[in-house]
Chain A
Amino acid sequence: MANPLIAFAVSSGESSGGLLDVNPGLIVWTGITFLLLLYMLFKMAWKPILNSLNEREQSIKDSLEKADKAREEAQKIFEENKSDLAKAEAEARKIIAQGREYSEKIKEQMLTESKQQAQKMIDEAKAEIDRKNQEALNKLKEQVVSLAVNASEKIIRESLDKEKHGKIVEKYLEDLSKN
């Protein structure tokens, strides 16, 4: 058979033959080269490189997980803080309300107390004033009486002269005798 490919190859005149000629020596050399390369690269490159890649991937994964966990924790703390704050606020509001109520009560109490006290003081003062008034009045009475007595005494003493009184007495006596 006139295979054109073989003719083509033969006409090239190469000592190594045609395109599809298999050279056993080259197969051997390729095998040796490849296996040596495989061994050297395995020792030198693939092992450390693949280990490093795995290590890096692991560290990235760990970091992501850690970050996730930290975020979750922060969220939890934030929520806790929020609820604590709300609780504290409620507490404060309660305390303020209580204080206000208490102060109101105290105010009222003090007010009534002071009112009572004032009333009492006013009453006392009134009684005192009454008493003093009475006292003054009594003194005045006494003085007036004594003054009146003194004055009448003086008047009496002044106006009692002999002739006048004699006439009065005479007249009196006359009246008596008439009756």
Chain B
Amino acid sequence: MISDSTKAIADSLHTAQSTGSEDTGWILHHILDSKYILGLFPSPEIHLFGIDLTITNHVVFMWIAAAILIVLLNKVSRSYKKSLVPKGITNVVEILIVFVRDEIARPTIGKGHEKFLPYLLTTFFFILTCNFLGLVPGSATATSNISVTASLAILSFLVTQAGGIMHNGFGGYFRGLIPHGVPAWLLPIMAVVELLGLFTKPFALAVRLFANMTAGHIVIYALIGLIFILKTYFVAPVSIAFALFIYLLEILVALIQAYIFTMLSSLFIGMAVHQEH
């Protein structure tokens, strides 16, 4: 087994050396997180409680996204103090806020959706901003990192459980997880299945966002890489046209994934809060 794996590495190294620039490592280099901020200067190593807390490139881009959101939404918030009639950038942001409220939170959670609205709005705007930041040339996509999406999914999981427990009580919530009318002998199995179901939801959330945001970037890099692998200028127009198409698709994906993550979180919260459905 070990020899197989080493053989594979050796093979890939061999082909990389023999064909010069056909090594695909550079694609991952652009997609993976690194301890070089913006690829320029190294960030100081921070280790606390046995965890590597070094501020990586993706952390910096999350902070950039957070800063953009704080500045933008502060401006929007202040514009409402002047007049209730929106104008300019307030219009755009308001459309998104009202969309999250009326199309995501209200239909899925229903009564009491106001309590979860700040969380859902923050999730939506944060993921959206991170996704869009990833489309800026030279930047990094924080949401294409499984750790970041896992963290967001864990938060969604915690909010869902907290919402369910607060609304139905601790015992009531966990009893309500098992659907009504299940035969007694099935209860142990159902309990395990439902408990697993609780954890598969955030897992799916994390993987979906991560995979969607990573895939587009890999495809763009691969298409551009074709020019260098085939070593001909003739493939360049085709490559660039396709890469541009994927890039435009990525804009759509950035929006859709932010929507889906928020929508599913909201759906799970709704299911936890109103278990009778």
What is the interface of chain A, defined by CB distance below 8 A to chain B? 1-4, 6-31, 33-38, 40-42, 44-50, 52-53, 55-56, 59
Contact = CB atoms under 8 A, between A and B. Distances in A.
A79 B126 CA distance: 58
Given A23-B147, A37-B122, A49-B80, A16 B70 contact: no
B154 A31 contact: yes
B29 A14 contact: yes
Contacts of A20: 146
A50 B84 CA distance: 11
Contacts of B142: 30
B155 A31 contact: yes
A11 B12 contact: yes
A23 B84 contact: no
Interface in B189-246: 214
A49 B97 contact: yes
Interface of B: 1, 4-5, 7-9, 12-13, 16, 23-25, 28-29, 31-35, 46, 51-56, 58-59, 62-63, 66, 69-70, 73-74, 76-77, 80-81, 84, 94, 97-98, 101, 114, 117-119, 121-123, 125-126, 142, 145-148, 150-152, 154-155, 214
Given A34-B152, A50-B117, A44 B33 contact: no
Contacts, number: 168
A2 B4 CA distance: 6
Given A33-B63, A44-B77, A48-B80, A16 B69 contact: no
Contacts of B101: 50, 53
Contacts of B13: 11
A116 B56 CA distance: 130
Contacts of B56: 16, 23, 25-26, 29
A8 B24 contact: yes
17 contacts: A10-B9, A14-B25, A14-B34, A16-B32, A24-B147, A26-B58, A26-B145, A26-B151, A28-B51, A30-B59, A30-B147, A30-B148, A33-B62, A34-B122, A41-B121, A42-B122, A46-B117
Contact of B84 (A40, A45, A47, A59): A59
Nearest to B50: A24
A4 B8 contact: yes
Given A23-B147, A26-B145, A30-B147, A37 B118 contact: no
A45 B77 contact: yes
B77 A48 contact: yes
A22 B203 CA distance: 13
B7 A2 contact: yes
Contacts of B69: 37, 41
Nearest to A21: B146
Contacts of B155: 31, 34-35
Contacts of A44: 70, 73-74, 77
Given A2-B8, A7-B5, A16 B34 contact: yes
Nearest to A11: B12
A117 B23 CA distance: 141
A1 B8 CA distance: 10
Contact of B150 (A12, A13, A22): A22
A64 to B, nearest CB: 15
Contact of B33 (A6, A23, A55, A56): A23
Contacts of B32: 12, 14, 16-19
A9 B59 CA distance: 21
Contacts of B4: 1-2
B70 A40 contact: yes
Nearest to B34: A16
Contacts of B12: 7-8, 11
B28 A45 contact: no
Closest 9 CB pairs of A and B: A30-B151, A45-B73, A52-B80, A26-B147, A12-B25, A12-B28, A2-B4, A27-B151, A25-B52
Nearest to A33: B62
A48 B8 CA distance: 58
Contacts of A24: 51-52, 147
